[in-house]
Every structure is written in structure tokens, then in C-alpha cells.
Structure 1
């Protein structure tokens, strides 16, 4: 680990294929936006020799956040992979966006990784969303460590930040969240803030000085001894508490000096098992420096303490038909089982699929089976096809460096998988498999769109298909009731990026329009009407008259048609025509253009002509009769009501319930959530929650989450309904 003080750099500029799963580490960086994840990735790449100067690959180009949208927005919006090498170990660093709208990219990174590095800013503290991700990792036993950044910010304090991390992340055992190093401060500047210039290793009791831009090692001074002793004792006790050697604690308490190598071995085992979470410090390199503070220590922690892919379970697999399969292991010689964790489009290479190989070995030009992922409800059709693998490569900024294979435990980019989408399984065509999908957040912000021009309309369908293929957190809906094309997103930033990608990547411009909910119309009182369609223009005429009554029915009854004609006033062959006309008009609406529901239409009387009556004439008469009834009756607009389940921290329950009441919601009750916090159940009109994904995030500081499901339609308040009806008349 870091106290081993090994400074062997990785090979710069090489794309290496791992030889064995034990020589691979997959680590995902987690933290809120602005915590310094991308800067840390670049520092690690520089320290390992993968780049020649911060943020640049050796033959030019940007290393991180190279997407044009990321440049414009000055933040990460997608998962990116940066492979580096340290001490013969290939480290796949997965940098994730910190903004909540891109949690789908974060979850993909968690799926592809075997350990998580939580990046927390000493200037900003820990936000609630990061705490939720920590709890998710804890639930599946993922190993975690913490890195404190921004120690150069005014009033930042490593000790205070460590104490905060112990309170926030150490619910089960605060002594499992302990620093391995203490920051060494230089002379205070004009503002009184002393910069961090080095680290003191608590196990090795050595000082690592970064003040010159290089990492040098020396004995700590006498002034550091007391500080080291206190922190070191606590660290040793924390390591021993997690040690598999139960006699070690007794020997330590008996005064026996613990061997440093033994402590490091026990520490690495505890980290790999996910029961000990070391805290480290990091800072970017100064101009011209080759190593940022703490980068060597982090690389040693990752290679020595984080687990190999063989130490993590392979996700369960079945056949595409759902039949159980034997449990797979991370074996390069085993059955092929890989998963697409990210899909993107490159203007030169075409579609690129970032793949995590869990079992077997993937090679260029292999023919693999692609199994769909069960997200048809989000616009991602299931598929079950064979495809030929294109070139394999390791991404490095905008570059793709060729690989000759990707073994179990490794990640690689695969070119030209035209049918594979994010979440799909790649397996041998002789033994097709389907991997259990990871949990995807539901997109709950509706955005209605339309093509900007006729040229855009011609390209819209294909552009949207490619967009949703890249992002399984997005859902595309063609609403038949409102005749709107709706893109469901996770938030406004998610929406902005999606529309920008449509424009810049696929050449499709769209306009957003107000989102409509699926309203219904119904009769509030009985009414009678007469439909008369009589036309004579010299030739064959049209003649049909029908008389109907309409009465309201209970919710969910639909349209009921009753024939009570006597004496053959309407010939039997034309009664279905009247019904067809009534139902067609009901589908189009009778007041504001929304479908009519929950009424009984009774045909009582009518007239026909022996020559001029026809099926079309009686359809028109039935339609006219229904419209005349509507003109005489009191109508209700019915709005959809959703059943809402909101999970929120206890501190925000009052604000959430008050907000729901202000949206015409009816709170049904509250209870403790199984995952912590309070579950609030409510019924609320859907028209009131079109932006609830944004508003709840603001109310709960990013910690709230909710789900919605259709409950029923119920009458809209008269004043609001009158406004919509008036707008429909004037349209």
C-alpha cells in the first residue's frame, strides 16, 4: 500500500491487455459535482506515467471530459474510462458524473467496478446523494475508500473532514473509517492558510514530501512524534479489530509490537473485504510537477488493497429464455459472459460499446450472441441476435488504442456492435446467456418535443433511436392520447444534454412544447340529441337521422351503446353504423378534444331513406347526435391521478407533505422506509407533478426519491376545467 513507498511508474502511452484477472483492478470514482474526481484521475494518470503532463496524453489531446458538451458545461456528463498501469497492475479508473441527473452513468460505473473510491471535498463536505451511494455500496459489500480533496481551500481541515466522514459513513463502525496518512503543512501564506506539502505515513512512520514536485521520503521530525503516536495507535487498533487473527488484539494489548508487514497485510484484506475504509488525502500537482500529493499512496492502495476481479462474484446469469444456468466465475478460459455498460457514438469509428468482461475472453472478429435487457417499456426493444465483434481498444481521451483481447475482469471498447445497447449481454453464440440487469433509475421528468423543421422530422426517428440506445435511463413515448412525442429524462440537465446530443451528434434539431397529460371527458348529467345528416345535390344523396340519449356511468365503464329502436325506424343494418359514428366521435372528444369515457349512449329513434341512406351517412348522424348532446349537457374534464410514493429523510418530511398539499395532493399516510428515511404515500393529479423530479431534488437537497403509478381519472376542479375548455374553443 502507500507505506510501501514504491515509486515504480507505469509504462507511458501503452495500451496493455491484462494477462490474468489478478493483474487487473477496476475502481469507480464517486462524489458530488465539483469534488475533484476528474482532476484526481488526471493526477493519477500523470503519476503513473500514462501522460506527460496534467490532463494531456503524450501524443496530444485531452484526457478527461473530452466530450464537447462537457467542455461547454464545465462538468462531467458521462462515464469515462482511463486505464493506467502501476507496478505491473492494470488499473481501470472509471470517472463518473457527480450531478444527480446522470446517476445512470454512475450506476453503470458501479456495475463495471469492483471497488469504489469516494472523493469528498474538504471545502464542501459530504452531500446526501453521496451518502445514499455509500449505503448502496455497503448493501452489496463493495469495498470503499475515501479521498479528501481541496485541502488548499480556505478554512479546510483534514481532521475535521475525517471526523465528518466517520459520522456520515461510519454508522456501523466509526473505527473502520480511519486515515492512513496525516497531511504535513508548510509555512502559512499571507491569508494565514498553511498549504499541504506532504504526508506522514502512520504505519511506516515515514514522511513523504511533495513540496518539490517529486515525492521524497525521510524521517519525521521530533515535532511530529506525538501526533503520529496518537493517530497510529487508533489506526492499528482499527486494523486489528478487523484482522482474521483473533490473537493479534490480545498480543497488542499485552504490549507486543505489531509487525508493520503483518499490519499492512491485514489492512489490505480488510479493505478488500469491504469492512475497513481508509481515508487518504490528495491534491493536484503544481505546474511542472510530475506527481500530485497523495497520488502514489492512492495507486498503492488501489493495487494492494482493492480486490481483484476474481474476488468479486459474477452477476447471476440465465439463458435468454429465463432458464437457470450454473454460476460463473472470473475465469479467462470459462464461458464468455460480458456486459455493455456504456454505448456511445464516435464520429470516426461509429458506435462504441464499453464492455466489462466477467467471464471468458473476448477477441476481435469473434461472433457473439447479444441478448436484450428487458427495457422495452423504455423504448429499448429486446433482442436476441448474433453479431460480429469489431476492433477491441482501450480508450484514452479521444484516442482508441488497439487491444488483441479482453480477458475476464477487464474492460474494453468494442467497435461496430450495431444491435447491442447499454445493459445487453454478450456471450458465445453456442451458449447464449442473459445477465441479471443492474437497477436503473426511472426517468420521471417528461419533455414533449417536436421536429424543428421538415428536414429534422425526416431524421428524428433514427436520431432518437440512437439516443435511447446509448442511455437506458431515458424513455421514449409516443402518447396516443395527446399525440405528443415525449422524452422522459432524469432532470433538466439530463434533458439539456440529450437535446444537445441530438443536435450536434445526429444533426436533429427539436423544439420543446408544453407537456400535456391524458385528460378525459365525460357527461355530468343526462342529455338528449338529434343527429341529422341530409344532403341532396342532384345525384345520389345522403340521408340519415338518429335520436340518442346520453347518461353518465361509474368510473371505468367506458362507452356503452344500447339499441332501443322499435318499428324499424332505423334499419337493422345501419344500427352498427350509428354506434361506429358515436364511438369515433367519443374517441375524438366532444368539448376539448380529449376522449369521452364512462357514458351510456342509447339509440331511441331515427329515420332512413330507401335510396339515400348509407353506412357513412348514419356514422355521420351518430357523430352529430353525440355532439348535440354535449352542447346541452354539463361536462366534466377528468384528469389522471397518480399514486405517489416519496422516500425522503426525516428532516424533509414536513416540507414534502406541505408541498404535496399545495399541489392538490391527498396524503394517504407515512411509514418508515426499509432503506431508511420516511415513505410518504399520496394521491395527486399528474398535471401537478410534471416537474416533481426537479422540485423534490431541490426540496430534499438531492436525497429524496419517488415513484409514480396511475391510480384513476377524477373530475378536474371546475375553474381549471373551464379554462382548458375555453382554450380549446379558441384554438
Structure 2
């Protein structure tokens, strides 16, 4: 690939609802530009961007992949991102390498939840964005209807710059509205040819061209004056205005075509070059100067000192860690020493690459605005900055959403514990949207992620990449036990077996504690009936005992134990004997004080559109939860509730199906509460069966 300047680069992130044809569009662009010699298809499992084993199996993208092509002396970087909601982290990191987010939607389905979520995210983060209406060759496809729904949903910034010729089976090609050029696909020559604009579309083309002129004029006072006085703008002014309007987010151009048949791809490529901003055109990036702590604006500039942002990490079992980065200033070269301000460490670059799917293409340098990869950085993770040691700055880190679903990872073979731990930590480098924790109480490794499919993919990757087979199970609920009433009991341990005997005798009053969960031990011994040196042993014995309750063996909380009487033997008494006496008293006292089972209650906040409120509240009631209140959250409703943890393990899946994936929730532990009797007996019986 010949040497490029930053102004000859275009970085395009392809996002949108799952199944809208994003990967197919990227493959069609690569094929049309001759970057690949075979049109890869997702269904045929030969796409260069969906190269992962799981992607081929499930026929969906699960990770962000990049490839580059060349069109009219401009290098176009394509970043294909998953649309499936479990892999939202991949979209969040992929967009940090982009200048324009191209939101793909199907002309048959129109605006879907994924379209709305993509728009919301790019809008909140001020990314330039555009739309591509795909699948115009399909039955029931409707360009006009889709365009109207885009305008209704996302407002006046939505501006069509292309119009289709024909529809459904009769879809032939696309009109470039700025240039008034109609291009159709000639199946005999497998090429695109320019034709006259069909008579029946001329009024439509005129109407839409005026729409573009108005939108462009709105972005610049001089152009507005000219448009008002002359009633028209030149092609050059329109292209310049579209680039500026797109860069600032004031205009979201709409293009169209059919990725699968390749119709409209050439017109799309021409418009990517003419209407989309290059890296130099986009707004400055926020960074912090290390020395002064000041926030500064950094423009993408190939003449500055080197700085780059690591937007993704790939854990490859063969080549190790691969860090994908975007150069912001200067150039990345082989063998440079870079400083990582996030870790306060230096890193030495080895070979650097451009990525084409999983293929690495070696290069000597990567200029500002371009994206590439480097292997085996020691300390660097996704979201880190790399810079010249003389130019110490730090770019804004990536903020990932919190996981919403947890599962326990159970090894199929007992000897695989270490392999699991090492495999998971490597996958964590690659995917910061999942978390690993250890439930010491139940000796379980817990992984938390964005949904069921996400966690299943992590389990599959453990098998495929690291050779470890695991099962995913619902985590065990950390139940607790406590007492309802007061009991006063004696615990006596007396053993005579030749030589020294054992003697310990205590009277302990057990009662519920209301001001804390820890064991409260009170010493009320008077007159030395239990000698001072044995009292710590009684407390220690009780502390060991509360790890196991008398109902189902769960730890005991909210217990107050008052040692108020006892007796001892001058020869046979010992710390061990008093510890045993405390244990006897504990078992007896707990049984007499009406023990009960407690369960963790979670504080849950659910954000949903108005129309799903009834379903959400009904579902909370079904889950033994209670709604505490509701409040407005921008144009959505927030439901605040408390629900037992045992009912919430699969809530990410439930909420998705209840709200067509429009709802979201957060959850945190609130307190322990008594389990209803019928539920408690089931739990106790299950626990007894487990221990048999």
C-alpha cells in the first residue's frame, strides 16, 4: 500500500441492529475495491471479518474486526462491530478508532432497537454519524418509509444524499443526489454504469437535493446568505458543507443500497470520500497533560510527537497479546520506545501491523489518524494511552457498562482450576465488559457479563483457545441464618478417660441482634465461675460455630451471645474443653431460639419506556419483589424495586424479552431478609440432599 497522508484517510465504524447486514456491507466494500478477491459471506462462513470459530458457528459478529481498502487514492479503514446487545463493549471500543459511525439498518425492518441504541451512544459521545439503508433488493423493502422513520426518530439532522432506482426485485442502482448522477449495476459486465435519471424520479431528486442544500446552508452563515439570495449552492459547496456538517454531527447523511448484491456500493464509496470527514476534519480529542494536570484539546496531526490510543486487545494463544491502537499525533514506527501514562511504564514496540480480519500485514510506520496493531506489550491494556516520553499526555479512557448477569464456572475436570484462571485472565484483557470474582463461601469462580450469550461465548473461548471445558451454572445464593427468639442454655463438656480429663461448662444466653450482622459476644461472668483465661476460648468457639447454622449449614448473622455463668475444674479444665462447651451450647441455643433462613435482597433500578411499565411491575411481583417507587428518567421511566437475589440471576434475559431489549437495569445488594416458610423448607431440603 502506497504512503498516505492523514487527509487521504477515512475511518468508518459500521454499527447497527444485529442482522442488518453490517459484515456483508464491509465485505462488499472490500470486494468492490479489490482488497479481497472473493466476496465473503457470513452464511457461507468465509467472511474475512467474522473469522472467529464462534462467529462462524452462530453466524453473528461477536468481536470488532478491522480491514482496509483503497478507493481513488484514499485509504478507507473499516471497523465492523457486533450488533448483538451482549457485545456492546465491542462497539464502544471500536468507535474510539473511528471518525464516522455508519449506522446500518434494513429497509425491510426499518428503525429497530439496535438502531436507536447506536444513535443514542454516538449522540452522547459526539461521534459523527451517517446511515446506510441496506437490503433494498428484498421483498417488502421500503426506502421512503425507512427514511421517514429515521427523520421522525432522530430529527432534522437526517439528510438523504442518495436515492434508490427501483425497489424490491426491481432495485437496480442508486442516484447520487449531490452530483445528479444515476448509477446502475450491469449484471452482464459485473460493473456499474452511469445512466439518465429516470423521468418518474426527477421531481423526487429535485425535492431531496433542496433538502441537502437547506441542511448545508444551516451549518454556515455565508452559505445561508448565498442560498437565500441565489436559491442554490454549487457541488463544491455542498460537499464541503456535508463534510463539515458530518464532522460536527449537525448532518447525518443517509445512503442506500444492497450489500449482498453489491448494488450501490460504488456510489457509497464515492460519497465516503467526498462527504465524510478525514481525521484532520473531526473535532479535537480531549486529553490531560501529565505535568500540569490540565485538560487540553488534541487535533489529529501527523507532524506532532507520537501519541496513540489503544482501543482493543486480542488474546491470541499463538502470538500472545495483540494491542490495536489509533495514532492520534505523529507516527508509530517499529522499535520505538513509548510511555504508557496509565501504568507509568515504558513499552518497546516490536513489529507493527495493519489488520485485515485476522491477517496481520507488516508495515514500517502508521501515521496520525490511521489504525494498526503491535504485539507483546507488557503492561498495556484496552483504554490506555501510548506516547513519546517527551510528550506525556493521557486520553480519556473507555467507560464500559457494568455486567448484568453472573454464572458460576464449573470445570469438567478437577485438575483444570489453574488453566481456567489463566484462560479467564487472558480473556479479560480482550474483553473488559466481563468480570471474574471468587465466591469463597461456596468455592465457586463467578463470571459476570452482559447476558447469557456473552457468558456462553466466554465458556466456548476457554475451550477453543485454552483447551479447558467448563459448565456454566447459576451461582449459589449466599443464604444466611439467624434466630427469632431468646434462649438461655447450658453447654457442658465432660470427658474422663484416664489421666487428665476434660471439663468445660458454660451458660450462654442467645438473642437476636438488631444493630449489626457480626457476632456480639458479651462477657458477664462474675466471681470467677469461668476463669478469665478461658473466656476468649468460649468466644473463639462461638466464632467458629457461626460459620455453620443449624438449619441448612449457612453462616449465622445478627446473633448476640452473653456468657453469664458456668463452672470449671481446677485440673481438667482447658481452653479446648471450654471451646467444646461453647459449641454444645451454640447448637442447643440456636435450635431453641427459633432459627430462620435469610436471603439477600437486591436494590434494583430498571429503566424502561412507558409502554412496558405494566409488564415490568407484574414481573417484579411474580419474582416476590416489591416496587418502592417510580420516577421519570429523561423520556423513560425508572422503576425502583427490591427483589430477592435468587430471582434475579437471569433478569438480563427476562428484561430483554419483556421490553424488546429497550430496558436496562442496575442492581446492588441491599440487606438480608427472612425467606418465606414454603421457600425456606425447599432450600433446607435441597441443602440436606447436597450434603448426603
Is the Cα contact below 8 Å between 1:553 and 1:599 reproduced in 2? Answer: yes
Q: Which sections of structure 1, spanning at least 5 residues, go unmatched?
A: 1-13, 187-192, 287-291, 373-382
Does residue 65 of structure 1 match 2:50?
A: yes
Is the Cα contact below 8 Å between 2:612 and 2:659 reproduced in 1? Answer: yes
Map residues 561-600 of structure 1 onto 2, 5 A cutoff: 561-600=521-560
Q: Choose 523-532 or 241-250, whichever is displaced more.
A: 241-250
- Alpha-carbon deviations, 1:179-227, whole Å to 9, x = none? 22221128xxxxxx53211122223222212133211113334444334
- Other-structure match for 1:167: 152
- Other-structure match for 1:708: 667
- Other-structure match for 1:411: 371
Indicate the SS of the match to 1:85. strand
- Other-structure match for 2:224: 246
Query: Displacement of 1:103 after TM fit?
Result: 0.4
> Which of 335, 338, 362 is equivalent to 2:332?
362
Does residue 181 of structure 1 match 2:162?
A: yes
> Which of 393, 397, 409 is equivalent to 2:357?
397
* TM-score, with structure 2 as normaliser: 0.93
* TM-score, with structure 1 as normaliser: 0.88
Query: Displacement of 1:262 after TM fit?
Result: 2.2
Does residue 269 of structure 1 match 2:244?
A: yes
- Other-structure match for 2:194: 217
Is the Cα contact below 8 Å between 1:272 and 1:305 reproduced in 2? Answer: no
- Alpha-carbon deviations, 1:307-347, whole Å to 9, x = none? 2323232233364x994454433233445433322211234
Query: Displacement of 1:354 after TM fit?
Result: 1.2
Q: State the alpha-carbon separation in 2 of the partners of residues 417 and 184 from structure 1.
A: 51
Q: State the alpha-carbon separation in 1 of the partners of residues 85 and 93 from structure 2.
A: 14
Query: Displacement of 1:153 after TM fit?
Result: 1.3
> Which of 296, 312, 319 is equivalent to 2:266?
296
> Which of 277, 284, 287 is equivalent to 1:316?
287
- Alpha-carbon deviations, 1:649-705, whole Å to 9, x = none? 11112211221122222212222113x311111122222211111111111111111
- Other-structure match for 1:230: 207
Q: State the alpha-carbon separation in 2 of the partners of residues 130 and 540 from structure 1.
A: 80
> Which of 680, 685, 688 is equivalent to 1:721?
680
> Alpha carbons of 1:333 and 1:635: their partners in 2 closer, same or farther (altered >3 Å)?
farther
Indicate the SS of the match to 2:298. coil
Q: State the alpha-carbon separation in 2 of the partners of residues 620 and 334 from structure 1.
A: 74
Map residues 330-729 of structure 1 onto 2, 5 A cutoff: 330-372=300-342, 383-429=343-389, 433-538=393-498, 540-674=500-634, 676-729=635-688
Is the Cα contact below 8 Å between 2:174 and 2:267 reproduced in 1? Answer: no
Map residues 110-189 of structure 1 onto 2, 5 A cutoff: 110-170=95-155, 173=156, 176-185=157-166
Is the Cα contact below 8 Å between 1:560 and 1:600 reproduced in 2? Answer: yes
Q: State the alpha-carbon separation in 1 of the partners of residues 444 and 318 from structure 2.
A: 34
Q: Which sections of structure 2, spanning at least 5 residues, go unmatched?
A: none
- Other-structure match for 2:69: 84
Aligned residues: 683
Is the Cα contact below 8 Å between 2:176 and 2:267 reproduced in 1? Answer: no
Q: State the alpha-carbon separation in 2 of the partners of residues 109 and 427 from structure 1.
A: 20
Is the Cα contact below 8 Å between 1:670 and 1:678 reproduced in 2? Answer: yes
Indicate the SS of the match to 2:191. coil
Q: State the alpha-carbon separation in 2 of the partners of residues 427 and 593 from structure 1.
A: 55
Query: Displacement of 1:724 after TM fit?
Result: 1.6
- Alpha-carbon deviations, 1:127-180, whole Å to 9, x = none? 12321220221233321111111112111111111112111222xx2xx32322
Q: State the alpha-carbon separation in 2 of the partners of residues 302 and 207 from structure 1.
A: 17
Larger relative contact order (Cα-Cα within 8 Å, sequence gap ≥ 6) = 1
Is the Cα contact below 8 Å between 1:61 and 1:397 reproduced in 2? Answer: no
Does residue 282 of structure 1 match 2:257?
A: yes
Is the Cα contact below 8 Å between 2:103 and 2:118 reproduced in 1? Answer: no
Q: State the alpha-carbon separation in 2 of the partners of residues 467 and 624 from structure 1.
A: 49
Does residue 24 of structure 1 match 2:2?
A: no
Q: State the alpha-carbon separation in 2 of the partners of residues 673 and 233 from structure 1.
A: 38
Q: Choose 495-504 or 480-489, whichever is displaced more.
A: 480-489
Does residue 203 of structure 1 match 2:174?
A: no
Query: Displacement of 1:501 after TM fit?
Result: 0.3
Is the Cα contact below 8 Å between 1:318 and 1:435 reproduced in 2? Answer: no
Q: State the alpha-carbon separation in 1 of the partners of residues 277 and 453 from structure 2.
A: 35
